Structure 1
Amino acid sequence: MTDTVTTPPRAAIELPVRGGAFERAGSELIDGLDRVSSATACAKLHELGVSRTFVEGPRPLQAGQRVVGSAITLQFMPQREDLASGLGQEYVERHTALWAVMETVQPGDVLVIQAYGSKFSGCIGDILARYFLRKGGAGIVVDGRIRDSGRIRELGLPIWSTGVTPHYASQSELFPWAYDVPVAVGGALCLPGDLVVADDDGPVIVPQSMAREVADSARDHEEWEVFSRHRLDEGARLSDYYPLTPDTREEYETWRSARPAGR
Protein backbone atom coordinates (compact mmCIF):
# COMPACT_ATOMS: atom_id res chain seq x y z
CA MET A 1 0.00 0.00 0.00
CA THR A 2 1.39 3.37 -1.01
CA ASP A 3 1.25 6.25 1.45
CA THR A 4 -0.28 9.40 0.05
CA VAL A 5 0.06 12.94 1.32
CA THR A 6 -3.15 14.88 1.44
CA THR A 7 -2.89 18.59 0.80
CA PRO A 8 -5.40 20.62 2.79
CA PRO A 9 -7.96 22.35 0.58
CA ARG A 10 -7.23 25.99 -0.10
CA ALA A 11 -9.55 28.37 1.73
CA ALA A 12 -12.22 29.69 -0.60
CA ILE A 13 -11.55 33.34 0.23
CA GLU A 14 -9.04 35.90 -0.88
CA LEU A 15 -7.86 38.63 1.43
CA PRO A 16 -8.29 41.49 1.71
CA VAL A 17 -12.03 41.51 1.19
CA ARG A 18 -13.36 44.69 -0.40
CA GLY A 19 -17.01 45.70 -0.34
CA GLY A 20 -18.92 47.18 -3.20
CA ALA A 21 -18.77 50.69 -4.59
CA PHE A 22 -20.29 53.44 -2.46
CA GLU A 23 -20.90 57.16 -2.73
CA ARG A 24 -19.21 59.53 -0.31
CA ALA A 25 -21.25 62.23 1.34
CA GLY A 26 -21.01 65.48 -0.58
CA SER A 27 -19.51 68.68 0.76
CA GLU A 28 -22.97 70.24 1.16
CA LEU A 29 -24.03 67.53 3.63
CA ILE A 30 -20.72 67.74 5.50
CA ASP A 31 -20.89 71.55 5.69
CA GLY A 32 -24.47 71.29 6.97
CA LEU A 33 -23.29 69.33 10.00
CA ASP A 34 -20.12 71.35 10.54
CA ARG A 35 -21.42 73.26 13.58
CA VAL A 36 -23.65 70.48 14.94
CA SER A 37 -22.49 68.78 18.13
CA SER A 38 -22.52 65.00 18.44
CA ALA A 39 -25.07 65.35 21.27
CA THR A 40 -27.48 67.29 19.08
CA ALA A 41 -26.97 64.96 16.11
CA CYS A 42 -27.66 61.96 18.35
CA ALA A 43 -30.81 63.56 19.81
CA LYS A 44 -32.17 64.53 16.40
CA LEU A 45 -31.63 61.06 15.00
CA HIS A 46 -33.46 59.63 18.02
CA GLU A 47 -36.40 61.95 17.26
CA LEU A 48 -36.34 60.62 13.70
CA GLY A 49 -36.53 57.01 14.93
CA VAL A 50 -32.87 55.92 14.79
CA SER A 51 -31.68 55.17 18.32
CA ARG A 52 -28.33 53.34 17.99
CA THR A 53 -26.01 56.01 16.58
CA PHE A 54 -23.57 56.70 19.44
CA VAL A 55 -20.24 54.86 19.15
CA GLU A 56 -19.81 53.83 22.79
CA GLY A 57 -16.24 53.46 24.02
CA PRO A 58 -13.87 55.54 21.86
CA ARG A 59 -12.67 58.78 23.45
CA PRO A 60 -10.70 61.63 21.85
CA LEU A 61 -6.95 61.30 22.07
CA GLN A 62 -6.87 65.03 22.84
CA ALA A 63 -9.61 67.11 24.43
CA GLY A 64 -11.23 69.61 22.10
CA GLN A 65 -10.88 67.48 18.99
CA ARG A 66 -13.75 67.58 16.50
CA VAL A 67 -14.42 66.14 13.08
CA VAL A 68 -17.25 65.89 10.56
CA GLY A 69 -16.70 63.79 7.47
CA SER A 70 -17.70 60.94 5.19
CA ALA A 71 -16.96 57.45 6.49
CA ILE A 72 -14.64 54.92 4.95
CA THR A 73 -14.51 51.63 6.83
CA LEU A 74 -12.08 48.95 7.97
CA GLN A 75 -13.09 45.66 9.56
CA PHE A 76 -10.89 43.51 11.77
CA MET A 77 -11.82 39.86 12.30
CA PRO A 78 -10.56 37.15 14.68
CA GLN A 79 -7.32 35.50 13.55
CA ARG A 80 -7.44 31.94 12.27
CA GLU A 81 -4.08 30.49 11.39
CA ASP A 82 -5.20 28.63 8.26
CA LEU A 83 -6.42 31.95 6.83
CA ALA A 84 -4.64 34.83 8.49
CA SER A 85 -2.34 35.51 11.42
CA GLY A 86 0.01 38.29 12.43
CA LEU A 87 3.20 36.27 12.78
CA GLY A 88 4.93 38.29 10.07
CA GLN A 89 4.06 41.70 11.58
CA GLU A 90 4.16 44.54 9.04
CA TYR A 91 5.41 42.26 6.28
CA VAL A 92 2.11 40.41 6.48
CA GLU A 93 0.00 43.47 7.29
CA ARG A 94 1.15 45.33 4.17
CA HIS A 95 -0.97 42.87 2.14
CA THR A 96 -4.07 43.32 4.28
CA ALA A 97 -7.13 45.56 4.35
CA LEU A 98 -5.25 47.91 6.70
CA TRP A 99 -2.76 48.91 4.02
CA ALA A 100 -5.35 48.70 1.22
CA VAL A 101 -7.82 51.11 2.82
CA MET A 102 -5.06 53.70 3.19
CA GLU A 103 -4.71 53.86 -0.59
CA THR A 104 -8.41 54.76 -0.94
CA VAL A 105 -8.33 57.79 1.39
CA GLN A 106 -9.68 61.02 -0.08
CA PRO A 107 -9.65 64.51 1.46
CA GLY A 108 -12.20 64.82 4.25
CA ASP A 109 -12.59 61.08 4.89
CA VAL A 110 -13.12 59.71 8.39
CA LEU A 111 -11.79 56.16 8.82
CA VAL A 112 -14.10 54.05 11.02
CA ILE A 113 -12.53 50.84 12.34
CA GLN A 114 -14.31 47.80 13.79
CA ALA A 115 -12.06 46.09 16.34
CA TYR A 116 -14.47 44.82 19.01
CA GLY A 117 -12.99 47.07 21.69
CA SER A 118 -9.84 44.93 21.68
CA LYS A 119 -7.30 45.93 24.34
CA PHE A 120 -4.41 44.27 22.54
CA SER A 121 -4.66 45.39 18.89
CA GLY A 122 -2.94 48.65 17.99
CA CYS A 123 -5.08 49.26 14.92
CA ILE A 124 -3.32 52.48 13.86
CA GLY A 125 0.22 53.64 14.54
CA ASP A 126 2.34 56.66 13.75
CA ILE A 127 3.37 55.77 10.18
CA LEU A 128 -0.12 54.93 8.97
CA ALA A 129 -1.56 57.97 10.75
CA ARG A 130 0.98 60.17 8.96
CA TYR A 131 0.10 58.68 5.60
CA PHE A 132 -3.63 59.04 6.27
CA LEU A 133 -3.15 62.71 7.20
CA ARG A 134 -0.94 63.38 4.17
CA LYS A 135 -3.69 62.07 1.89
CA GLY A 136 -6.16 64.50 3.41
CA GLY A 137 -7.90 62.24 5.92
CA ALA A 138 -9.93 64.24 8.46
CA GLY A 139 -10.06 61.87 11.43
CA ILE A 140 -10.17 58.28 12.68
CA VAL A 141 -12.64 56.47 14.94
CA VAL A 142 -11.36 53.14 16.32
CA ASP A 143 -13.51 50.73 18.31
CA GLY A 144 -10.22 49.48 19.74
CA ARG A 145 -6.75 50.80 20.51
CA ILE A 146 -3.94 52.68 18.82
CA ARG A 147 -0.17 52.63 19.26
CA ASP A 148 2.49 55.39 19.06
CA SER A 149 0.03 57.72 20.79
CA GLY A 150 2.66 60.37 21.59
CA ARG A 151 3.68 60.78 17.96
CA ILE A 152 0.05 60.79 16.82
CA ARG A 153 -0.71 63.59 19.30
CA GLU A 154 2.11 65.59 17.73
CA LEU A 155 0.50 65.13 14.31
CA GLY A 156 -2.69 66.78 15.54
CA LEU A 157 -4.81 64.17 13.77
CA PRO A 158 -8.27 63.96 15.40
CA ILE A 159 -8.63 60.39 16.62
CA TRP A 160 -11.03 58.56 18.92
CA SER A 161 -10.07 55.19 20.39
CA THR A 162 -10.74 53.04 23.45
CA GLY A 163 -7.14 53.48 24.63
CA VAL A 164 -3.53 52.77 23.72
CA THR A 165 -1.35 49.68 23.51
CA PRO A 166 2.24 48.86 22.46
CA HIS A 167 0.95 46.03 20.23
CA TYR A 168 0.91 46.25 16.46
CA ALA A 169 -2.39 45.66 14.64
CA SER A 170 -2.25 41.87 14.23
CA GLN A 171 -0.03 41.01 17.21
CA SER A 172 -2.84 39.56 19.25
CA GLU A 173 -6.29 38.19 18.42
CA LEU A 174 -7.42 40.23 15.41
CA PHE A 175 -6.45 40.63 11.75
CA PRO A 176 -7.29 43.41 9.22
CA TRP A 177 -9.82 41.61 7.07
CA ALA A 178 -12.05 43.84 4.95
CA TYR A 179 -12.66 47.43 3.89
CA ASP A 180 -15.50 49.38 2.26
CA VAL A 181 -17.91 47.12 4.17
CA PRO A 182 -20.51 47.78 6.88
CA VAL A 183 -18.90 47.81 10.33
CA ALA A 184 -20.18 47.58 13.90
CA VAL A 185 -18.47 50.10 16.18
CA GLY A 186 -19.36 50.59 19.82
CA GLY A 187 -22.86 49.22 19.28
CA ALA A 188 -23.57 51.36 16.21
CA LEU A 189 -23.73 50.37 12.55
CA CYS A 190 -21.67 52.42 10.10
CA LEU A 191 -22.01 52.06 6.34
CA PRO A 192 -19.40 53.42 3.94
CA GLY A 193 -20.49 56.94 3.02
CA ASP A 194 -22.36 57.62 6.26
CA LEU A 195 -21.39 60.80 8.06
CA VAL A 196 -19.41 60.89 11.29
CA VAL A 197 -19.82 63.70 13.81
CA ALA A 198 -17.33 63.40 16.66
CA ASP A 199 -16.31 65.73 19.49
CA ASP A 200 -15.60 65.55 23.23
CA ASP A 201 -18.86 63.63 23.82
CA GLY A 202 -17.78 60.91 21.39
CA PRO A 203 -18.60 59.86 17.81
CA VAL A 204 -22.08 59.64 16.30
CA ILE A 205 -22.95 57.97 12.99
CA VAL A 206 -25.39 59.94 10.82
CA PRO A 207 -26.96 57.91 7.98
CA GLN A 208 -26.21 59.73 4.75
CA SER A 209 -29.88 59.62 3.70
CA MET A 210 -30.86 61.51 6.88
CA ALA A 211 -28.01 64.01 7.07
CA ARG A 212 -29.84 66.94 5.50
CA GLU A 213 -32.87 66.55 7.77
CA VAL A 214 -30.62 66.22 10.83
CA ALA A 215 -28.65 69.32 9.85
CA ASP A 216 -31.75 71.46 9.31
CA SER A 217 -33.34 70.39 12.59
CA ALA A 218 -30.09 70.62 14.54
CA ARG A 219 -29.35 74.14 13.31
CA ASP A 220 -32.58 75.46 14.80
CA HIS A 221 -32.07 73.45 18.00
CA GLU A 222 -28.58 74.75 18.62
CA GLU A 223 -29.61 78.33 17.85
CA TRP A 224 -32.43 78.34 20.39
CA GLU A 225 -30.11 76.73 22.95
CA VAL A 226 -27.82 79.77 22.56
CA PHE A 227 -30.83 81.98 23.31
CA SER A 228 -31.86 79.81 26.27
CA ARG A 229 -28.39 79.92 27.80
CA HIS A 230 -28.41 83.70 27.48
CA ARG A 231 -31.78 83.99 29.24
CA LEU A 232 -30.89 81.48 31.97
CA ASP A 233 -27.68 83.38 32.67
CA GLU A 234 -29.87 86.44 33.20
CA GLY A 235 -31.88 84.58 35.84
CA ALA A 236 -34.83 83.25 33.84
CA ARG A 237 -36.73 80.13 34.96
CA LEU A 238 -35.52 76.79 33.52
CA SER A 239 -39.00 75.48 32.69
CA ASP A 240 -39.70 78.56 30.55
CA TYR A 241 -36.58 78.28 28.41
CA TYR A 242 -35.54 74.63 28.30
CA PRO A 243 -37.22 73.56 26.18
CA LEU A 244 -38.95 76.63 24.82
CA THR A 245 -42.64 77.14 25.45
CA PRO A 246 -44.91 78.64 22.76
CA ASP A 247 -44.47 82.06 24.40
CA THR A 248 -40.68 81.85 24.74
CA ARG A 249 -40.45 80.40 21.24
CA GLU A 250 -42.04 83.61 19.98
CA GLU A 251 -39.57 85.59 22.08
CA TYR A 252 -36.73 83.56 20.59
CA GLU A 253 -37.89 84.24 17.02
CA THR A 254 -37.86 87.98 17.75
CA TRP A 255 -34.40 87.70 19.32
CA ARG A 256 -33.07 85.72 16.35
CA SER A 257 -34.39 88.13 13.75
CA ALA A 258 -32.68 91.01 15.54
CA ARG A 259 -29.26 89.32 15.66
CA PRO A 260 -26.55 90.38 13.22
CA ALA A 261 -26.15 87.93 10.33
CA GLY A 262 -23.64 85.14 11.00
CA ARG A 263 -23.75 85.44 14.78
Structure 2
Amino acid sequence: MSIDQASQSDHQTETPAWELPVRGGPYERPDPGLIEGIRGISAASACAKLHAQGIRRTFMQGPRPLAGGQRVVGSALTLQFMPQREDVASGLGQEYIERRTALWAVLEAVRPGDVLVVQAYGDSRTGCLGDMLVRYFKRKGGAGIVVDGCVRDSARVAALGVPIWCTGSTPHYASQSDLFPWAYDVPVACGGALVLPGDIVLADDDGAVVVPRRRAGAVIEAARDHEQWEQFSRMRLDEGAPLADYYPLTPDSRGEYERWRDAGNGTSR
Protein backbone atom coordinates (compact mmCIF):
# COMPACT_ATOMS: atom_id res chain seq x y z
CA MET A 1 0.00 0.00 0.00
CA SER A 2 1.38 3.40 -0.94
CA ILE A 3 1.76 6.25 1.55
CA ASP A 4 -1.08 8.13 -0.19
CA GLN A 5 -3.34 5.07 0.03
CA ALA A 6 -2.50 4.55 3.69
CA SER A 7 -3.20 8.20 4.46
CA GLN A 8 -6.53 7.99 2.66
CA SER A 9 -7.43 4.83 4.57
CA ASP A 10 -6.65 6.55 7.88
CA HIS A 11 -8.89 9.49 6.97
CA GLN A 12 -11.74 7.12 6.14
CA THR A 13 -11.54 5.12 9.37
CA GLU A 14 -10.92 7.76 12.05
CA THR A 15 -13.91 9.21 13.88
CA PRO A 16 -14.90 12.51 12.22
CA ALA A 17 -14.77 15.71 14.26
CA TRP A 18 -18.31 16.61 13.14
CA GLU A 19 -21.20 14.46 11.99
CA LEU A 20 -22.08 15.11 8.35
CA PRO A 21 -24.23 15.87 6.52
CA VAL A 22 -25.95 18.55 8.56
CA ARG A 23 -29.66 18.95 7.94
CA GLY A 24 -31.75 21.89 9.12
CA GLY A 25 -35.15 21.57 10.71
CA PRO A 26 -38.49 21.21 8.93
CA TYR A 27 -39.76 24.21 6.99
CA GLU A 28 -42.90 25.25 5.15
CA ARG A 29 -42.93 25.59 1.37
CA PRO A 30 -44.89 28.56 0.02
CA ASP A 31 -48.51 28.27 -1.03
CA PRO A 32 -48.78 27.38 -4.75
CA GLY A 33 -50.89 30.51 -5.26
CA LEU A 34 -47.96 32.67 -4.19
CA ILE A 35 -45.68 30.87 -6.63
CA GLU A 36 -48.15 31.53 -9.43
CA GLY A 37 -48.48 35.18 -8.43
CA ILE A 38 -44.70 35.70 -8.46
CA ARG A 39 -44.51 33.93 -11.82
CA GLY A 40 -46.07 36.98 -13.46
CA ILE A 41 -43.39 39.35 -12.13
CA SER A 42 -39.91 40.16 -13.44
CA ALA A 43 -36.85 39.85 -11.22
CA ALA A 44 -36.30 43.60 -11.61
CA SER A 45 -39.83 44.44 -10.42
CA ALA A 46 -39.65 42.04 -7.47
CA CYS A 47 -36.28 43.46 -6.42
CA ALA A 48 -37.57 47.04 -6.69
CA LYS A 49 -40.75 46.37 -4.73
CA LEU A 50 -38.87 44.58 -1.96
CA HIS A 51 -36.45 47.50 -1.78
CA ALA A 52 -39.42 49.85 -1.35
CA GLN A 53 -40.53 47.66 1.57
CA GLY A 54 -37.10 47.99 3.20
CA ILE A 55 -35.76 44.57 2.12
CA ARG A 56 -32.62 45.66 0.31
CA ARG A 57 -30.37 42.65 -0.24
CA THR A 58 -32.42 40.33 -2.40
CA PHE A 59 -30.30 40.14 -5.57
CA MET A 60 -27.93 37.17 -5.71
CA GLN A 61 -24.92 38.89 -7.19
CA GLY A 62 -22.72 36.75 -9.42
CA PRO A 63 -24.84 33.91 -10.84
CA ARG A 64 -25.77 34.44 -14.49
CA PRO A 65 -27.99 32.31 -16.75
CA LEU A 66 -26.19 29.35 -18.24
CA ALA A 67 -28.44 29.87 -21.27
CA GLY A 68 -30.31 33.02 -22.25
CA GLY A 69 -34.08 33.35 -22.24
CA GLN A 70 -34.62 31.15 -19.18
CA ARG A 71 -36.89 31.93 -16.26
CA VAL A 72 -37.83 30.10 -13.09
CA VAL A 73 -39.95 30.65 -9.98
CA GLY A 74 -40.06 28.14 -7.13
CA SER A 75 -39.57 27.27 -3.49
CA ALA A 76 -35.98 27.53 -2.25
CA LEU A 77 -34.26 24.24 -1.44
CA THR A 78 -30.86 25.07 0.02
CA LEU A 79 -27.39 23.50 -0.05
CA GLN A 80 -24.38 24.89 1.82
CA PHE A 81 -20.74 24.24 0.95
CA MET A 82 -18.08 24.91 3.58
CA PRO A 83 -14.28 25.09 3.42
CA GLN A 84 -12.56 21.71 3.61
CA ARG A 85 -10.71 20.77 6.77
CA GLU A 86 -9.09 17.38 6.57
CA ASP A 87 -10.01 16.18 10.06
CA VAL A 88 -13.69 16.87 9.27
CA ALA A 89 -14.15 16.49 5.54
CA SER A 90 -11.96 16.39 2.45
CA GLY A 91 -12.33 15.49 -1.20
CA LEU A 92 -10.39 12.23 -0.94
CA GLY A 93 -12.32 9.45 -2.61
CA GLN A 94 -14.12 11.73 -5.07
CA GLU A 95 -17.74 10.76 -5.72
CA TYR A 96 -17.50 7.78 -3.33
CA ILE A 97 -17.15 10.28 -0.51
CA GLU A 98 -19.51 12.85 -1.99
CA ARG A 99 -22.45 10.47 -2.21
CA ARG A 100 -22.55 10.42 1.60
CA THR A 101 -22.64 14.21 1.81
CA ALA A 102 -25.27 16.95 1.77
CA LEU A 103 -24.91 17.10 -2.03
CA TRP A 104 -26.43 13.66 -2.56
CA ALA A 105 -28.85 14.08 0.37
CA VAL A 106 -30.34 17.34 -0.90
CA LEU A 107 -31.17 15.73 -4.23
CA GLU A 108 -33.28 13.13 -2.42
CA ALA A 109 -35.16 16.01 -0.73
CA VAL A 110 -36.18 17.63 -4.04
CA ARG A 111 -39.90 18.10 -4.59
CA PRO A 112 -41.51 19.17 -7.88
CA GLY A 113 -41.11 22.90 -8.39
CA ASP A 114 -38.14 23.37 -6.05
CA VAL A 115 -35.31 25.74 -6.94
CA LEU A 116 -31.98 24.53 -5.54
CA VAL A 117 -29.95 27.46 -4.13
CA VAL A 118 -26.28 26.70 -3.46
CA GLN A 119 -23.85 28.64 -1.29
CA ALA A 120 -20.37 28.26 -2.81
CA TYR A 121 -18.71 31.64 -2.16
CA GLY A 122 -18.27 32.37 -5.86
CA ASP A 123 -15.54 29.72 -5.95
CA SER A 124 -14.21 29.28 -9.49
CA ARG A 125 -12.70 25.82 -8.92
CA THR A 126 -15.62 23.94 -7.36
CA GLY A 127 -18.01 22.23 -9.80
CA CYS A 128 -20.99 22.10 -7.47
CA LEU A 129 -23.13 19.96 -9.79
CA GLY A 130 -22.58 18.16 -13.07
CA ASP A 131 -24.45 16.17 -15.69
CA MET A 132 -25.50 13.19 -13.55
CA LEU A 133 -26.70 15.22 -10.57
CA VAL A 134 -28.60 17.78 -12.66
CA ARG A 135 -30.13 14.92 -14.62
CA TYR A 136 -31.38 13.38 -11.36
CA PHE A 137 -32.59 16.78 -10.12
CA LYS A 138 -34.66 17.12 -13.31
CA ARG A 139 -36.12 13.63 -12.92
CA LYS A 140 -37.22 14.50 -9.38
CA GLY A 141 -39.14 17.50 -10.72
CA GLY A 142 -36.72 20.29 -9.75
CA ALA A 143 -37.52 23.57 -11.46
CA GLY A 144 -34.13 25.30 -11.55
CA ILE A 145 -30.77 25.86 -9.86
CA VAL A 146 -28.98 28.99 -8.62
CA VAL A 147 -25.30 28.54 -7.66
CA ASP A 148 -22.90 31.26 -6.58
CA GLY A 149 -20.17 29.04 -7.97
CA CYS A 150 -19.50 26.78 -10.94
CA VAL A 151 -20.95 23.73 -12.62
CA ARG A 152 -19.12 21.01 -14.52
CA ASP A 153 -20.11 19.18 -17.75
CA SER A 154 -21.57 22.51 -18.86
CA ALA A 155 -22.52 21.45 -22.40
CA ARG A 156 -24.36 18.34 -21.20
CA VAL A 157 -25.96 20.26 -18.36
CA ALA A 158 -27.20 22.99 -20.71
CA ALA A 159 -28.65 20.33 -23.02
CA LEU A 160 -30.82 19.00 -20.17
CA GLY A 161 -32.88 22.21 -20.29
CA VAL A 162 -32.90 22.81 -16.53
CA PRO A 163 -32.72 26.60 -15.97
CA ILE A 164 -29.40 27.27 -14.21
CA TRP A 165 -27.77 30.43 -12.90
CA CYS A 166 -24.08 30.07 -12.02
CA THR A 167 -20.78 31.94 -12.15
CA GLY A 168 -19.10 29.72 -14.72
CA SER A 169 -17.88 26.21 -15.43
CA THR A 170 -14.95 24.07 -14.29
CA PRO A 171 -13.72 20.50 -14.91
CA HIS A 172 -13.51 19.91 -11.12
CA TYR A 173 -15.96 17.76 -9.23
CA ALA A 174 -17.66 19.23 -6.16
CA SER A 175 -15.03 18.50 -3.49
CA GLN A 176 -11.93 18.40 -5.70
CA SER A 177 -10.78 21.85 -4.63
CA ASP A 178 -11.35 23.86 -1.45
CA LEU A 179 -15.01 23.29 -0.55
CA PHE A 180 -17.12 20.40 0.70
CA PRO A 181 -20.93 19.80 0.64
CA TRP A 182 -21.78 20.39 4.28
CA ALA A 183 -25.46 21.07 5.01
CA TYR A 184 -28.90 21.29 3.43
CA ASP A 185 -32.28 22.71 4.41
CA VAL A 186 -30.38 25.48 6.22
CA PRO A 187 -30.10 29.24 5.65
CA VAL A 188 -27.52 30.02 2.98
CA ALA A 189 -25.74 33.12 1.69
CA CYS A 190 -25.93 33.03 -2.10
CA GLY A 191 -24.35 35.91 -3.95
CA GLY A 192 -24.55 38.11 -0.87
CA ALA A 193 -28.25 37.47 -0.25
CA LEU A 194 -29.70 35.47 2.63
CA VAL A 195 -31.95 32.66 1.39
CA LEU A 196 -34.06 30.67 3.83
CA PRO A 197 -35.57 27.28 3.00
CA GLY A 198 -39.08 27.92 1.70
CA ASP A 199 -38.39 31.44 0.41
CA ILE A 200 -39.43 32.07 -3.18
CA VAL A 201 -36.69 32.31 -5.78
CA LEU A 202 -37.31 34.23 -8.99
CA ALA A 203 -34.67 34.27 -11.72
CA ASP A 204 -34.63 35.54 -15.29
CA ASP A 205 -32.14 37.13 -17.70
CA ASP A 206 -31.43 39.93 -15.18
CA GLY A 207 -30.37 37.44 -12.49
CA ALA A 208 -31.79 35.74 -9.40
CA VAL A 209 -33.79 37.36 -6.60
CA VAL A 210 -35.05 35.95 -3.29
CA VAL A 211 -38.58 36.89 -2.25
CA PRO A 212 -39.19 36.24 1.47
CA ARG A 213 -42.19 33.93 1.73
CA ARG A 214 -44.01 36.23 4.16
CA ARG A 215 -43.56 39.22 1.84
CA ALA A 216 -44.69 37.49 -1.34
CA GLY A 217 -48.33 38.64 -1.19
CA ALA A 218 -47.36 42.29 -0.80
CA VAL A 219 -44.81 41.99 -3.61
CA ILE A 220 -47.40 40.48 -5.94
CA GLU A 221 -49.88 43.27 -5.25
CA ALA A 222 -47.32 46.06 -5.70
CA ALA A 223 -45.66 44.56 -8.75
CA ARG A 224 -48.93 43.83 -10.58
CA ASP A 225 -49.69 47.55 -10.82
CA HIS A 226 -46.07 48.40 -11.61
CA GLU A 227 -45.87 45.91 -14.47
CA GLN A 228 -49.14 47.20 -15.95
CA TRP A 229 -48.27 50.91 -15.82
CA GLU A 230 -44.87 50.16 -17.33
CA GLN A 231 -46.67 48.38 -20.17
CA PHE A 232 -48.82 51.49 -20.66
CA SER A 233 -45.79 53.80 -20.48
CA ARG A 234 -43.85 51.66 -22.94
CA MET A 235 -46.73 51.94 -25.39
CA ARG A 236 -46.94 55.73 -25.01
CA LEU A 237 -43.16 56.17 -25.39
CA ASP A 238 -43.24 54.10 -28.57
CA GLU A 239 -45.94 56.50 -29.82
CA GLY A 240 -43.60 59.44 -29.26
CA ALA A 241 -44.75 60.75 -25.86
CA PRO A 242 -42.23 62.66 -23.66
CA LEU A 243 -40.22 60.50 -21.23
CA ALA A 244 -40.76 62.92 -18.33
CA ASP A 245 -44.55 62.56 -18.66
CA TYR A 246 -44.65 58.77 -18.68
CA TYR A 247 -41.65 57.39 -16.79
CA PRO A 248 -42.46 57.49 -14.00
CA LEU A 249 -46.09 58.48 -14.29
CA THR A 250 -47.13 61.99 -13.34
CA PRO A 251 -50.51 62.65 -11.66
CA ASP A 252 -51.98 63.43 -15.10
CA SER A 253 -50.50 60.40 -16.87
CA ARG A 254 -51.44 58.23 -13.89
CA GLY A 255 -55.07 59.17 -14.44
CA GLU A 256 -54.68 58.38 -18.13
CA TYR A 257 -53.16 55.00 -17.27
CA GLU A 258 -55.96 54.14 -14.84
CA ARG A 259 -58.60 54.89 -17.48
CA TRP A 260 -56.67 52.69 -19.95
CA ARG A 261 -56.42 49.89 -17.35
CA ASP A 262 -60.07 50.13 -16.30
CA ALA A 263 -61.07 49.78 -19.95
CA GLY A 264 -59.63 46.24 -19.81
CA ASN A 265 -56.21 46.93 -21.29
CA GLY A 266 -52.94 45.60 -19.97
CA THR A 267 -51.85 42.17 -18.91
CA SER A 268 -49.31 40.75 -16.53
CA ARG A 269 -45.97 39.56 -17.85
What TM bracket, shorter-length normalisation? over 0.9
Identity value in percent = 69
Q: C-alpha distance in 1, partners of 2:267/2:237?
A: 22
Residue 5 (structure 1) aligns with: none
| 2:22 paired with 1:17 | yes
Which amino acid in the other structure matches residue 182 of structure 1? P
5+ long unaligned stretches in structure 1: 1-8
| 2:226 paired with 1:221 | yes
Q: C-alpha distance in 2, partners of 1:108/1:141?
A: 14
Which amino acid in the other structure matches residue 170 of structure 2? T
Residue 199 (structure 1) aligns with: 204
| 2:256 paired with 1:256 | no
Which amino acid in the other structure matches residue 90 of structure 1? E
Which amino acid in the other structure matches residue 140 of structure 2? K
TM-score (norm 1): 0.95
Give the deviation of 1:262 after TM superposition.
5.4
Q: C-alpha distance in 1, partners of 2:82/2:34?
A: 31
Give 2:61's match in structure 1, choosing from 48, 56, 62: 56
Residue 156 (structure 1) aligns with: 161
Give the deviation of 1:239 after TM superposition.
1.0
CA contact (8 A) 2:17 2:88 kept: no
Q: C-alpha distance in 2, partners of 1:112/1:230?
A: 37
Residue 136 (structure 1) aligns with: 141
Give the deviation of 1:25 after TM superposition.
1.0
Q: C-alpha distance in 1, partners of 2:230/2:92?
A: 53
Q: C-alpha distance in 1, partners of 2:249/2:265?
A: 22
Aligned CA RMSD, in angstroms, stands at 1.2
5+ long unaligned stretches in structure 2: 1-13
SS at match of 2:60: coil
Give the deviation of 1:13 after TM superposition.
2.2
Q: C-alpha distance in 1, partners of 2:207/2:266?
A: 30
**Cα distance 1:261–1:242, how it changes in 2: closer, same or farther (>3 A)?**
closer
TM-score (norm 2): 0.93
Give 1:110's match in structure 2, choosing from 70, 90, 115: 115
Which amino acid in the other structure matches residue 190 of structure 1? V
| 2:235 paired with 1:230 | yes
Which amino acid in the other structure matches residue 42 of structure 1? C
CA contact (8 A) 2:232 2:266 kept: no
Structure 1 residue ranges, 4+ long, deviating more than 3 angstroms after superposition: 9-12, 260-263
Give the deviation of 1:17 after TM superposition.
0.2
How many residue pairs end up in the alignment? Answer: 255
| 2:48 paired with 1:43 | yes
Give the deviation of 1:87 after TM superposition.
1.1
| 2:126 paired with 1:125 | no
Give the deviation of 1:190 after TM superposition.
0.2
SS at match of 1:117: coil
SS at match of 1:33: helix
